[in-house]
Structure 1
Amino acid sequence: MIGAPDHYCYPGTRVLKNKANIQSESELDEAMNDYASIAWAILRASPPTRDLDFEYLADAHHYMFGRLFTWAGHLRNVNLSPAGIDGDYCPHGEVEERLEVLFGRLAEEDYLQGADDWDFCQRVAHYWGRLTDIHPFRDGNTRSQGLWVSALATQAGHELNWALIDPVVLRTARMSARQGYEAGLSDYLRERLLPPGANMAAPDFKGPASLSADKPGDV
């Protein structure tokens, strides 16, 4: 849900202003899925050697959605709340400070390198819950955060089997982690780690149960 007025949208609609001038919410979401799928394939083909800090997440978001939105990769400046969930996301005026704290602590943990399966999933659940609440971008958070978590796992010596991740269950687990109940997300991710050497399947951004299935409302 969004506060009014929302300058990101065309007047009187929930459709985000976009460079392609798409006026249909469903068509815009389909376009976002298309760009996210292409970006995921390209970025995953060359795993990052840089720190997986907020700059990486912002760059990934811009790479995914920069062809559609002028604000891709930039922090939101409106307040938002998740669809169907009580409680607002982090106020937009606190987003930058909270990101600095989160990624500062993650850097202190060396981006979870060397963590075993159990510890890795526990810490990812903690950071993903906090990042879900911060909700840095106006839209496209779930898709860009999924890529970030995937890269984080790869760098730490783990791989997630995205083919076995149900986006509805994942969203429920993330929303619970956002409120401090992190065990469900940790267990869910740990049960979907691939054995060493296995090939990772990319999430299906275009299918009926894609990572963008948070609609209606903001992701």
Structure 2
Amino acid sequence: MKDPYLYPNTEIMINKFNIKNSKELNSMEADFTSSRLKDIIQYGLEGKFDLEHLLKYHFTIFQDIYYWAGQLRTINIEKSEPALGGISIEYSDVDNIKSDIVFILSKVKSIYWNELNIDNKSNLFSRFIADLWKVHPFREGNTRTIITFCCNYAEKEGFPLDTDLLKDNSDYVRNALVAASAKFHDLGDKSNLEYLTRIIEDAIERGKNK
């Protein structure tokens, strides 16, 4: 199937600068998104932590680079994961993205976070991040958007995370998300939440002291 997000016969995302060199595009994207993420950290991003708010996060972070910033993907996607021997996580079907997000956000808002001890809080919050990430609602930029969205939600609920810890260990965090999301219709449930819970617990503990 033709991917409408890519320049023909390439693996490069169509972008506002018409850059067709992957290294140059990645560098440009990193510069712009880093600036936007700093703005979000400093000024916040008003919303109700619902689907519309999540789209607003993605738009704010990627608006300088992609025309489709803030829009749900329109195709099904696969991404080869080295941590899984090249297998892709089974992301949400394009027809289920909205309903999956609404369900996850509705469920997380029913949790009384201030009544939980650190172990339960870390476990439930890690599950929340992993479930939302597994939807992979956007064609690109899911990890940055969802981690930022979820961390701001945690801050609203009274347990801010040390986001520098997550940023400085971004490769570990993504691999942990992959491990937590490794559920397959043919291979069964191979998921392991422990790696993600470990760093989330550390981030919560360090967040108390900031």
Question: Normalising by the residue count of structure 1, what TM-score does the alignment of the two structures yield?
Answer: 0.80
Is the 8 Å Cα contact of residues 82 and 89 (structure 1) preserved in structure 2? no
Deviation at 1:159, TM superposition (A): 2.8
1:98 equivalent in structure 2: 100
Q: 1:140 to 1:195 in 2, by over 3 A?
A: closer
Q: Which amino acid in 2 is paired with 1:161? A: D
Q: Which amino acid in 2 is paired with 1:108? A: S
1:177 equivalent in structure 2: 180
Deviation at 1:115, TM superposition (A): 4.2
Question: Normalising by the residue count of structure 2, what TM-score does the alignment of the two structures yield?
Answer: 0.83
Deviation at 1:38, TM superposition (A): 1.2
**Residues 141-152 of structure 1 correspond to what in structure 2 (within 5 A)?**
141-152=142-153
Is the 8 Å Cα contact of residues 14 and 66 (structure 2) preserved in structure 1? yes
2:199 equivalent in structure 1: 188
2:13 equivalent in structure 1: 16
Is the 8 Å Cα contact of residues 65 and 72 (structure 1) preserved in structure 2? yes
- Aligned-partner Cα distance in 2 for 1:54–1:100: 6
1:117 lines up with 2:118 in the alignment: yes
Q: Which amino acid in 2 is paired with 1:95? A: I
- Aligned-partner Cα distance in 2 for 1:63–1:195: 24
By relative contact order (CA 8 Å, sep 6+), the higher-ranking structure is 1
- Aligned-partner Cα distance in 2 for 1:27–1:158: 38
Q: What count of residue pairs does the alignment treat as equivalent?
A: 194
**Residues 129-168 of structure 1 correspond to what in structure 2 (within 5 A)?**
129-165=130-166, 166-168=169-171
1:82 equivalent in structure 2: 79
Is the 8 Å Cα contact of residues 129 and 147 (structure 2) preserved in structure 1? no
User: SS at 1:192's partner residue?
Assistant: helix
- Aligned-partner Cα distance in 2 for 1:130–1:168: 18
CA RMSD of aligned residues (A): 2.0
Give unmatched runs, 5+ long, in structure 1. 199-219
Match of 2:31 among 13, 31, 34: 34
- Aligned-partner Cα distance in 1 for 2:115–2:34: 29
More helix by share: 2
